[in-house]
Amino acid sequence: MLHRRFFTSLRVAALAALVVLATAASALAQGMYLKEIVKDGRIYVFNIQANAERFEKTGGEMGVGITMLNAGPNGETVIGDNEKALQLYFFKHNIPMAVQDAPPPAPAALPWKISGLVFGDYYGFVDNHLSTFEDQHGMWIRRAYFTYDHTFTPTITTRFRLEANSNGKLASPAVAATPYIKDAYLRWTFYGRQQLTVGIQPSLTFDFLESVWGLRHIEKTPLDLYRMDSSRDTGFTVAGPLNESQTFKYQAQFGNESGQNNEIDKFKAYRTAVRYEKNPGITIEGMAAIFNRALNADRITAQVFVAYRAKKARLGFQYSFQRRMAADGSPLPDTDMNVISGFGVWDIKPQKYSLFVRVDRMDDPCVDCTGIDYLPIAGNGAFTLTIAGFEYYIHPSVRFSPNVELVSYSEPVTGTKAGKDTVARLTFYWVW
């Protein structure tokens, strides 16, 4: 019995070896295949049998080929279906003609990408209306991102991003930065170039405005900075071009108005925007939003943004308005907030040196501004924020920027006029 099993196993192994050898021989034979066809004074050579058969069947359909002039035995043009065909032909006819091997195929693009950024400052408060910040100096990491992007198909992608920040209020006790989910969304491109985005995602216009401003590591854009809207919301967005050249675009968003947090009420946010964009050139965008809140304390927001981008400079102007309805039964009236903002950035030497300046004017008390991280602003009157600085690149992905933020106050509506706020910073930023 043992003897019979041994010979049975031996026969199976021998059969498997024959199959492997036959397969290798077939591949080798295909690799050494050479077919020569002379037509119209040219010599066509094939290393792939299917190409030769198609050529003969169609009467001369070569497809993609490599042409070598005056390379034949009598000066004929030789056309090969690949490099190997030419090498075999010249070797067979002893023609001293060198043909380089075909370049190796490019590696397939990875369906995923990991990226991130970090920025912060060594700061010093020269003046501040709060004693906690007065004369305070030190270093903080204002933001760190870790982002994973994945492409399921050319039309379906997803992003997951973590963010961590320092304590921007100089409050005790000191705590380490704690990561939280910043983005978690799925994006589907459909019906041409329309897009549906679902999940925790940027609120309308924030990514675009920040891309034009280009200095988020220096300061937030006005709606975000003055807490008139959150930079993120959880919901649905439909967006896309309105014309073939994609210069006109629209966005419509339905969200919880809960930022990155879960929903805890029945009230929702509705945002819509339309943009005309040319880069380089002029951009005009209009945005409107309604935020429903309890007791009819709704908020209505509108914004107009105009920018001009050139090769070495960009200018931007923004007007933002928000009306905050008084809650039912409240003795307080409705309140309005008006913000005018303008900036200029000059790339003296692109990706090497740049200068920037920005001025924001808030014409109304901003009660939420007292809670701004890293730069609390008094909320009892109008104020002007001026930002100016210089940026130096030690690498396209690494920058250092000495800059200053100055808040000057007008006469307050209530209470005592705050003194000016001045913070000098050496901001650092790197991205990968």
Tokens 């009892």 -> residue: 380
Say what the pLDDT of residue 420 is. 92
Is-contact 182 176, C-beta < 8 A? no
Q: What is the SS3 assignment for 93-145?
A: CCCCCCCCCCCCCCCCCCCEEEEEEEEEEEEEEEECCCCCCCCCEEEEEEEEE
The pTM assigned to this predicted structure is 0.78
Is-contact 186 149, C-beta < 8 A? no
Burial 274-290, CB ≥16 within 10 A → b, else e = ebbbeeeeebebebebe
Cα dihedral 294, 231, 226, 221 sign: negative
Domain map of the chain by residue range?
2-92, 113-431
**What dihedral angle (degrees, nearest 10) is formed by the CA atoms of 44, 47, 50, 52?**
20
Closest CA to 402 of 421, 388, 384: 388
Say what the pLDDT of residue 304 is. 98
- The whole-number mean pLDDT for each consecutive block of 10 residues of the chain, a chain of 432 residues, reads 46 42 41 88 92 89 87 92 92 89 83 97 95 92 97 96 92 85 97 94 93 97 96 97 94 93 92 96 98 96 98 97 96 96 97 97 95 95 97 97 97 89 98 96
What kind and span of H or E run contains 262? Answer: none
Closest CA to 44 of 85, 75, 90: 85
Is-contact 247 276, C-beta < 8 A? yes
Q: Which two tokens stand for residue 218?
A: 């220096």
Say what the pLDDT of residue 31 is. 63
Which contacts qualify for 141-145: CB closer than 8 Å, 24 or more apart? 141/165, 141/166, 141/177, 142/166, 142/168, 142/217, 142/373, 142/374, 143/117, 143/118, 143/119, 143/217, 144/116, 144/117, 144/118, 144/177, 145/115, 145/116, 145/117, 145/118, 145/182
Closest CA to 203 of 242, 234, 171: 234
For residues 295 and 313, give the distance between their C-alpha atoms in angstroms, rounded to a whole number: 47
Cα dihedral 306, 142, 351, 204 sign: negative
Cis geometry, peptide bond prior to residue 280 (ω within 30 degrees of 0): yes
Sheet of strand 42-46: strand arrangement? 35-39, 42-46, 77-80, 66-68
First to last CA, the chain: 67
Say what the pLDDT of residue 233 is. 97
Q: The domain 113-431 belongs to what CATH superfamily?
A: Porin (2.40.160.10)
**Residue 370 DSSP label:** G
